Amino acid sequence: MGEPREADARQATAGGVAVGAEGFGLKGPRGWAFRGVGFDAEAGSLIAVEGPSGSGRTCLLLALTGRMKPSEGHATIGSLRLPKRMAAVRRVSALAHVPGVTDLDPALTVGEHLRERALLQRRFDGSLRGLLRSRTERAAEAKGRIEAALTAAGLDREALPKGSRTAVRDLERMEALRLSVALALVGRPRLLGVDDSDLKLSGAERAQVWALLRSLTESGITVVAVCSEAPEGAVVVSTAPENDARARADMGDDGDSTERVDHADTTGTTDEADDSATTEATEATEATEATEATDKENADALAETRRS
């Protein structure tokens, strides 16, 4: 069972990239979203951005995938250095399950989401050689990408209430997360960012999510996942306040194979001590601004493909 899933995951990705950061920070209108991030992870790693809600987790995820510009320090995605190569990083990365950025349309069906993603992929990422192929060849290639992505994400359309015609509003929480991951994999990214990977999930469901993300890393792709509690064996970047990070360290990591990288810097001005609700609102606002242009491009592309 494991081998076919891994083979399909390889088809859905283009190989991972090493990810690292040094003195990485982002300051918003109300203070630092995150600061002093430093870590190194090999290609094909599972990187867990761990911390409480409102601690800058989503901003860090968006910055590492080239969607938000950092205020200080740098990060490297393969041979690409941030912030200088943000556009190039966006081309090799994809996002899944990010509120306000990759939201699924509850009125659309699973099949409609997949077809639109395939059309967008062809519109924005298709090579000249690919665009010159016949319509039949392009359709077959798109179908292959979709099937590989669905299998890698563990989403069986036949098991859904109405198959591909199942509306997103009728999906279970895990099914919706798997669909979001599948949509991201259609583009065969080398770096996948997943937000809120364990939000409102049971213990069994969380185990399923981590098993899914590990299967993707085993295929070579690098995964950055935001969570409240990281799994063992991950490269962990903590966005928790410094005192919380120290408290966890004092509790002991003996016998834990998880590599922890605590980076929170709370030695600045009072702006950095904003409560989690304020920081969370800042994250949502900045994430929306960072993706405004992309949303317009997507809407224009969808309108054009529906007219054709």
Residues 108-144: pLDDT tens digits?
999 999 999 988 887 655 555 656 667 787 778 889 9
Distance CA 81, CA 74 (A): 7
Cα 229 to chain center, whole Å?
17
pLDDT for the residue 130? 58
Q: What is the mean pLDDT of residues 67-82?
A: 97
Residue 306 confidence class, pLDDT cut points 50, 70, 90: very low
Mean residue pLDDT across the chain: 80
From CA 225, how far away is CA 211, in angstroms rounded?
A: 12
- Beta-bridge partner residues of 40: 20
- Residue partners of 39: CB distance under 8 A and separation at least 6: 19, 20, 21, 47, 235, 237, 261, 263
What percent of the chain has a predicted confidence (pLDDT) above 70?
Answer: 70
**Sequence-separated contacts (24+) of 302-308 with Cβ below 8 Å:** 302/116, 302/119, 302/120, 304/123, 305/116, 305/119, 305/123
Which comes out higher in pLDDT, residue 138 or 37? 37
Bridge partners (DSSP) of residue 22 are 74
Each residue's pLDDT tens digit, 195-238: 999 888 899 999 999 999 999 999 999 999 999 999 999 999 99
The encoded tokens of residue 198 equal 């364990």
Q: Which residue has the higher pLDDT, 258 or 215?
A: 215
- State if pTM tops 0.85: no
- What would the CATH number be for the domain defined by 2-104+189-307? 3.40.50.300
In Å, how far are 35, 104, 164, 169 from 108, measured between CA atoms?
39, 8, 10, 8
